[in-house]
Structure 1
């Protein structure tokens, strides 16, 4: 059984390669005229020989007509048995490839967005430590991916990066809607709020700190970061902090905690999170 890679991008590339090979194999299958010629030539030769050896019992015209008829019959039978629904299968493969390419483009855009946010976070003051692409779990929680975790004087900030091309409308209930311009019209699409994801991350971090640092008060903050510079945000989520990437560092530096975490505590927390990281690559 073929095993797909764990990495999502490698997984999609493997599927694309597989479907592309299947499509190329279908395209290489011979067309009706070629198959008919391959069948007709030897069949006609056999019927002509039969006409000759029959000593006049089989007329040449009848022999050639019979040869052409049986050639057509054999060709159709071959196509039905060995190349059924060829055009339909090609259409299905092409549609599947189209879906996979869209998923790949979306995933690659997300990865680029995460890299851009990681670069921006790298310009925070030295007392901040940034961890990127961290996988953490808790006793009661399954493993979750954290795009970025920043440990600094205000506490621990966990960030979820979103790469969305279009405008995001957020109402006062925290419902998200995406507007995208396609072919001279605006498409309105619903979108899941990142709130459950942020809450899962928050629960894992709180559980982890309670176990590892029971005597230390560690404030946590969740931020949703829009990595696409063209994204337009209209409205404010009542439950979430949503920022564009260019506003991120200033916001983090503006956070205040009394008393702030010491540099020793910041390093200890960062090392502990790294040790707890589960490499799923």
Structure 2
């Protein structure tokens, strides 16, 4: 009887580990961690979590929006560990992880991720569009990675930090530019625009997956997914990459 209980516990633990290791749950866990950190901000900061806004091309999901007298912070959370390599102008960044231990040492795993700066820029534009009828307010995009991530990135014009530095980065903005009345209007406008209908999140995920598939197919066929131009191989200071033939009108790049 005891052996059956042990086996059941083992199976449950394995199932839980598999469930927790899915990208969706890893991402949600990271968003909850960041939300708890934002809860420690003073009352002059109002946090909105997991916002789904309409856009001209469908919908966009924003992890966190912090409205304050000092600006509107649009935060993208990345629950990644290991070494993160990237440039603010790159289409993709890279994640390097220690893999399995071999007799000669540790192997490494390489994974690609979408440039989160570009991803969050789209979120910031969506917020700006939602608020255009009530005013033009400063929007500060921030990309935040897990503390277990070692950031090896070049982003002189953007804020990309670890979780532990998030609150201090937000609090470094001290110039008041939004009145208490406007803060209430901003929060009300974003909250009313937030899409909460049943099935809307699932539809958003399907649209994102379809867009990613179309993008990958275009690149595989040597076409720019942004403008339809031809992709040509170029060499820059960070190595070889694919660039759009319509440069500088189109600045799409893809790492090789």
Question: Hey, what's the Cα distance between the residues in 2 that align with 1:172 and 1:274?
Answer: 30
Match of 1:150 in 2: 66
- Is 2:168 the partner of 1:232? no
Deviates more, 1:217-226 or 1:103-112: 103-112
2:167 aligned counterpart, secondary structure: helix
Q: Does structure 2 conserve the Cα–Cα contact (< 8 Å) formed by 1:141 and 1:204?
A: no
Cα distance, 1:190–1:123 mapped onto 2, change above 3 Å:
same
Q: What count of residue pairs does the alignment treat as equivalent?
A: 176
Q: Which of 112, 119, 123 is 2:36 aligned to? A: 119
1:235 aligned counterpart, secondary structure: strand
Question: Hey, what's the Cα distance between the residues in 1 that align with 2:88 and 2:73?
Answer: 24
Cα distance, 1:172–1:209 mapped onto 2, change above 3 Å:
closer
Structure 1 gap segments, 5+ residues each: 1-97
Provide Cα deviations, 1:142-176, integer angstroms capped at 9, x if missing partner.
11111000000112111111011211022474452
Q: Say what the alpha-carbon RMSD is for the aligned residues.
A: 2.2
Structure 2 gap segments, 5+ residues each: 1-14, 101-105, 202-256
User: Larger helix proportion, structure 1 or 2?
Assistant: 1
- 4+ runs of 1 displaced by more than 3 Å? 101-104, 171-175
Question: Hey, what's the Cα distance between the residues in 2 that align with 1:125 and 1:197?
Answer: 28
- Is 2:105 the partner of 1:182? no
Provide Cα deviations, 1:92-131, integer angstroms capped at 9, x if missing partner.
xxxxxx9xx5895222111111000000001111101000
- TM value normalised by structure 1: 0.58
- Is 2:164 the partner of 1:242? no
1:243 aligned counterpart, secondary structure: strand
Which structure 2 residues correspond to residues 13-92 of structure 1 after superposition, within 5 A? none
The structure that has the greater radius of gyration is 1
